[in-house]
A and B are shown apart, each in its own frame.
Chain A
Amino acid sequence: MQNILIHSAEFVFAPVLLPLLGAAIVFCAKAFSRGRIAKTIEYTGAAIGLLLPWLMLFIILPNLLGGSVYEGTIGGWDKNLGILYKFDGLAWLVNFLGFSVAMAAWFYSLGAGPRGPKFTAIFLIQTAALSATIMTADLFNLFVCLEVLGISSYVLVCSSEKPGAFLASFSYLMVSAAAMIFFLVGIYGLYRLTGKLSYEGIAEALAAMDNGGGITALISLALIIAAVALRVAVMPLYGWLPDAHAMAPHAVSAVLSGVLIKTPLFALSRILIIFPAGSDAGQLMGVSGGLTALIAVIIALSQKDVKKLLAYHSVSQIGYIVCAWGAALHIGVETPAGLVLMTAAFLHALYHALFKGTLFLTVGTLIDRAGNRSVYELRRGAGILKKSGEKIPVTFISFMLAAMAIAAIPPLNGYVSKNALSYALKGRWEYVVLTLASVGTVASFIKLSLIFFPPGKNHNAIAFLENPQKVHPAMKAAELFLAILCLAGGLFSPYISKIAGSLLNQSGTVGINSIPPDLYSGGNLQKTLIITLSGAAVYLLCSTKQGKAVLKRIRERPRSFSGLFTSFALGLAGMAAWLIYRTFN
């Protein structure tokens, strides 16, 4: 047994190393060969980088469930100088989420593009950076990981070759590069105080000081939180996301929305758990998460571009996750209530990755076939897809499953995770906010679903592409894979929740289950029915003349490049002021 443990300790680097190896192989294939051989090598590299790590995750799962945590220094150096890593249940879960969605998205890109070895290689590097980000326990290494993650996603957003994509990528690049410089200032502050770079080293050294590091430590922490929160896109810092996610190629959008905005969040929780001020920071982030969920869904309801609508929904759904995540950190993740909240947050992150991935892929398939992205103009989507050679309406079915999941219709996964969130947050103000946001979600998905159905009476007919491209089988397979996972996530949720709960549970409290015992009770179903009906009512209200005028106003609110930086600066100052206020009062 001892032997197996030592041996499997090397497996934890597989999710970082294998995608890099795959990327290197793909680059070599690009440089050395052409045609069929290059394609074969490229696909081999992708299999090494995406499938193999995913399978290896299952080899180490029993050990992690048995309570072992892999940690140490990379290269075996002294722990005060080397880079610490920690592969625990949280890392496993985030890796699982990342590789599942990345695999499906890459497979989809085979049919829909962007194709080519360069795309595959950068996609693999991005995946490697995702698992490196969640594994690291060192501040400067986190900086490097976030930069790798960032630079690969700027390139991937550009790869759709739309002019709008370049602007979106530029805004994203500028604001997050500037944020990373503030992150470096945060590292400077903490290194100056403690002389350490690992999370544990810094926390220990700060605890040893008589004033806990004073204002400098708090501000440094705020700088780090703000820079990471920008990647997560919570309320004041979300401005870059909608454009970038809407303009990216569909496969990349699925990964960006599904995985990329959640990984930094869970990586941040590693820092906040061990810092004394982390619980206050979690409280403020929870509040902004709740507000994000509600405000972003209102903006989403007003959107015209289908992918932008989905992108704003990503902001809204990340708000749900941050809300529960922050509350969990505030209570303390060791406590049973905190653990329930954290598990619910992760469950929603996982399920959101699945249904939002499906939505981006299916809607992407349709808008490429139709040549139109407007939610007000595009109609008869199912017919267009049929014309593109889809005998069995796979795309339509997958879309409907995912849309019902995000609108929390039983028995799909969204119903489970949203109920888990409500159950965990019961009796708090966030509960009300999230319920209101759910109403908005239902309304906007009724609006979005119309693109698949025949037009109403007074709908102006618009021209579509004459001969839509055929839907590639790989695209259908990817859509169906994710949609089935959505359904399975709903049906087998008790097991999934149990596994997630015990992986996140490090203190050994037994019997944590974040799924409410009365999941399918009359009360919950009734609540869902009320939410759905009021969502429909909100939709009807929005399609009136006044409603449309209000939505237009929201849609055309002023947005500017400098606004991104102002909101970052104000968010940063707010976080710093809050931490100082809480510590000295």
Chain B
Amino acid sequence: MADRMKNNKISIFYKLQIFLAFAAVAAVLLPVFLNDSHWPVFARDYLEANGEEQTGAANIVSSIYLGYRAYDTLGETIVLLVAVSGTIGIISFTGKNLATGYNEDDFEGGNRKNRKRTVLMEVVTGKLGPVILIFGLYVMLFGHMSPGGGFQGGVVIASGIIFISLGTGGSENNILSHSGVLAKIEAVSFLLLVLASAIGLITGIGFFANPFNGNPIPPVGYIILLNAMIGLKVGAGIAYMSVAMLGDTDL
């Protein structure tokens, strides 16, 4: 009886607490969400006039993403890098044994015995994989003039790699979907990306400055370069993570 009373008391307290949190959040956010001031046009006008000229990209979103604010994009890539390697480190430590130490050196795939796979799936994914890969390359390399870019292209490439790995029956049979190869591609393209951001430091025009000025390579070359590196890194990283996840379940 006393126990039940106590439970009751806790639940009233709990409900009150939840209610207070909701009321606080709603009250704080309401004025921000309902603010009706006119959306500022300054940045839009500036970019409409100068964006393509300064960065060479017709896709203005790309010109911000990899031109004016490329440093943010570097940070975003790093978040993905840490998330991928952290996720793999956490899940590759299988089983309920919770040993000490950080045994994370290598992920070798885990057990793949109980995979349910039909012939239809193998044929379709195997044939579709290369097509998706090519589409991913297109999205990646033409991000400066059409929607898309390194990140989106990278994700498409990753799904192409996964399809190929599904189609060829087990990831170890195919060089592209081998986890070691993917890790190598990811590491090298991250190194190249960091070096690309530092080109400007070496030539003396500043961190993340565009080293190409139209002579001989037009300025858009830098965006394509960054897109390619980000695409490779993202593609390899996400494919690496997915191959690791496919390794120990029957997805």
Contacts and interface: CB of A to CB of B under 8 A. Distances in A.
Interface of A: 10, 13, 17, 20-21, 24-25, 27-28, 30-32, 72, 74-78, 80-83, 113-119, 121-122, 125, 128-129, 132, 140-141, 144-145, 147-148, 151-152, 154-155, 158-163, 166, 185-186, 188-189, 191-196, 215-216, 219-220, 222-223, 249, 558, 562-563, 565-566, 569-570, 572-573, 576
A160 B101 CA distance: 7
User: Top 4 closest A-B pairs, CB basis?
Assistant: A195-B40, A114-B102, A155-B86, A573-B24
A569 B24 contact: yes
Nearest to A21: B194
Given A81-B47, A185-B32, A195-B42, A27 B190 contact: yes
A344 to B, nearest CB: 33
Contacts of B225: none
B34 to A, nearest CB: 9
A390 B86 CA distance: 35
Contacts of B17: 562-563, 566
B79 interface: yes
A186 B32 CA distance: 8
Contacts of A192: 35, 37, 39-40
Given A31-B187, A144-B75, A572-B24, A74 B102 contact: no
Interface stretch (B126-134, B139-147, B165-173, B199-207): B199-207
A475 to B, nearest CB: 15
B32 A188 contact: yes
A72 B14 CA distance: 50
A46 B20 CA distance: 47
A17 B198 contact: yes
A241 B142 CA distance: 45
Contacts, number: 218
Contact of A193 (B29, B37, B101, B195): B37
A78 B201 contact: no
A316 to B, nearest CB: 25
Contacts of A151: 79, 82-83, 86
Interface string B2-43: 000000001000100110111011011101100101011111
A185 B25 CA distance: 12
B180 A114 contact: no
Interface in B220-247: none
Nearest to A78: B46
Nearest to A166: B90
Contacts of B21: 562, 565-566, 569-570
B138 interface: no
Interface of B: 10, 14, 17-18, 20-22, 24-25, 27-29, 31-32, 35, 37, 39-43, 46-47, 50, 54, 64, 67-72, 75-76, 78-79, 81-83, 85-86, 89-90, 93, 98-102, 104-105, 180, 183-184, 186-188, 190-191, 194-195, 197-198, 200-201, 204-210
Given A75-B68, A75-B200, A122 B18 contact: no
Contact of B68 (A82, A189, A558): A82
10 contacts: A74-B206, A78-B50, A81-B69, A83-B68, A83-B72, A122-B85, A160-B102, A188-B32, A191-B40, A566-B21
A83 B72 CA distance: 8
Given A141-B75, A188-B32, A32 B184 contact: yes
A39 to B, nearest CB: 11
A548 to B, nearest CB: 24
Contacts of A75: 67-68, 70-71, 200, 206-210
A185 B198 CA distance: 32
B194 A562 contact: no
A28 B205 contact: no
A40 B236 CA distance: 26
A572 B27 CA distance: 10
A219 B102 contact: no
A576 B102 contact: no
B186 A27 contact: yes
Contacts of A113: 101-102
A195 B67 CA distance: 18
Contact of A148 (B27, B31, B39, B78): B78
A20 B207 contact: no
Contacts of A32: 184, 187
A20 B46 contact: no
Contacts of A148: 75, 78-79, 82
A219 B76 CA distance: 27
B238 to A, nearest CB: 16
Contacts of A215: 31
A434 B186 CA distance: 50
Given A75-B210, A76-B206, A562-B18, 16 more contacts: A17-B198, A75-B68, A76-B205, A81-B43, A81-B64, A116-B102, A122-B85, A140-B72, A151-B86, A155-B82, A161-B98, A161-B101, A191-B40, A195-B39, A570-B24, A576-B28
